[in-house]
């Protein structure tokens, strides 16, 4: 009689395992973060992120077409801004003919069905490398929100489907919703970086955009006054709930694989889709270990993505999006 329950019966073959599998992945689960630079026919690989490039708009458009053909339906775009265009207020961020705005227009013209979610934060435009306006030795919350609204409206005017505020200013989702609605963009959504932690996993990303805080005594040396303390869990739920109350259409947890407990907590707490950012450091670690033969690249990549989805992600922003989509399409 013993044992009556044998879990192994449901693991006997791949056919049975696939029949009862609780979680699945498809290319439509992925959003591809893309880095855009000035110029034409220009691309340079980011040394700390093998296989990821800063590209000019024309080459970015070609890449967008490729990933759309693979089944990926969303891109999260970031720009590498020239030093001479940076200031403390981020004025270039809402230039109607700026790099971001031109990139949005080009992508939507070439691939209208691709969902474009531009980053909304001032760090690429800041002489200090911070996500907002520096005043009295810190990032000033409310004046930064005013700047972010102008930035988001300019993205909507260029054709963005969603805006993606990554700044972690208090109250910015409400201000963005009010600003977008006042400008007539009621259908432009907000994907809020709600639980964005002050993480060391962002290092390669800052290499990509040259957006790390500068070393100066009169400003904060890091982003811990606005990004979250990674020791905290309840705070993440609170931030996500606030953003939903203020009008967020999606909320994000960032980083990903090291924060799956937070993903599940947020998923259980909110009634909107949860996005998870599988960040640059998580990507770089797999690439580095695989290059040394310490890990099986594709197996680890797919395991991590599946675990993020299992934890509650509706959408995964990942630098592995293209590679994973190619593998998934082969399996069909």
Residue 52 and residue 278: Cα distance in Å, rounded?
14
Classify 90 in phi/psi space as left (phi over 0), alpha (psi -120 to 50) or beta. Answer: left
Q: Partners of 260 in the beta sheet?
A: none
Residue 151 has φ and ψ, to the nearest 5°, of: -65, -50
Residue 301 has φ and ψ, to the nearest 5°, of: -55, -50
Residue spans of alpha helices (H) in 126-171: 141-158
Catalytic one among 196, 223, 267, 287? Answer: 196
For 30, 63, 72, 251, 298, the CA distances from 326, given in Å and listed in that order, are 12, 14, 10, 27, 11
Residue 90 and residue 60: Cα distance in Å, rounded?
24
Q: Is 254 a known active-site residue?
A: yes
Classify 149 in phi/psi space as left (phi over 0), alpha (psi -120 to 50) or beta. Answer: alpha
Residue 166 and residue 197: Cα distance in Å, rounded?
11
Retrieve residue 20's tokens.
Answer: 């009862």
Beta strands 138-140 and 315-318: pairing type? unpaired
Catalytic one among 86, 254, 287, 309? Answer: 254
- 246 annotated to a ligand binding site: no
Residue 119 and residue 35: Cα distance in Å, rounded?
11
Retrieve residue 62's tokens.
Answer: 């070609």
Residue 109 and residue 125: Cα distance in Å, rounded?
25
Q: Which residue has the tokens 């998580």?
A: 282
Q: Does the N-terminal peptide bond of residue 76 adopt cis geometry, omega within 30 degrees of 0?
A: no
Binding residues: 239
Provide the annotated active-site residues. 196, 254
Binding residues for Mg(2+): 239
């Amino acid at each position: 009689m013993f044992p009556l329950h044998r879990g192994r019966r449901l693991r006997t073959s791949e056919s049975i395992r696939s029949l009862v599998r609780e979680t699945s992945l498809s290319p439509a689960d992925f959003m591809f973060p893309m880095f855009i630079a000035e110029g034409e026919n220009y691309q340079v690989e980011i040394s700390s992120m093998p296989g990821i490039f800063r590209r000019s708009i024309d080459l970015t458009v070609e890449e967008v077409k490729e990933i759309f053909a693979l089944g990926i339906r969303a891109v999260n775009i970031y720009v590498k801004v020239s030093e001479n265009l940076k200031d403390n207020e981020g004025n270039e961020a809402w230039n109607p003919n700026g790099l971001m705005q031109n990139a949005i227009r080009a992508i939507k013209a070439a691939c209208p069905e691709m969902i474009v979610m531009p980053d909304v934060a001032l760090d690429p435009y800041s002489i200090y490398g911070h996500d907002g306006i520096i005043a009295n030795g810190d990032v000033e919350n409310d004046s930064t929100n005013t700047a972010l609204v102008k930035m988001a409206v300019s993205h909507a005017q260029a054709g963005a489907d969603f805006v993606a505020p990554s700044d972690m200013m208090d109250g910015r989702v409400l201000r963005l919703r009010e600003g977008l609605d006042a400008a007539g963009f009621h259908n432009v959504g907000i994907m809020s970086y709600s639980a964005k932690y002050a993480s060391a996993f962002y290092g390669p990303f800052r290499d990509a955009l040259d957006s790390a805080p500068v070393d100066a005594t009169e400003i904060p040396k890091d982003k811990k006054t606005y990004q979250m303390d990674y020791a905290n869990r309840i705070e993440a739920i609170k931030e996500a709930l606030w953003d939903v109350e203020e009008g967020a259409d999606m909320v994000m947890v960032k980083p990903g694989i090291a924060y799956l407990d937070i993903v599940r907590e947020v998923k259980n707490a909110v009634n909107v889709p949860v996005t998870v950012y599988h960040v640059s450091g998580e990507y770089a670690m797999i690439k580095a270990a695989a290059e040394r033969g310490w890990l099986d690249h594709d197996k680890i990549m797919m395991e991590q993505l599946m675990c993020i989805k299992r934890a509650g992600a509706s959408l995964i922003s990942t630098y592995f999006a293209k590679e994973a989509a190619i593998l998934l399409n082969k399996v069909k």
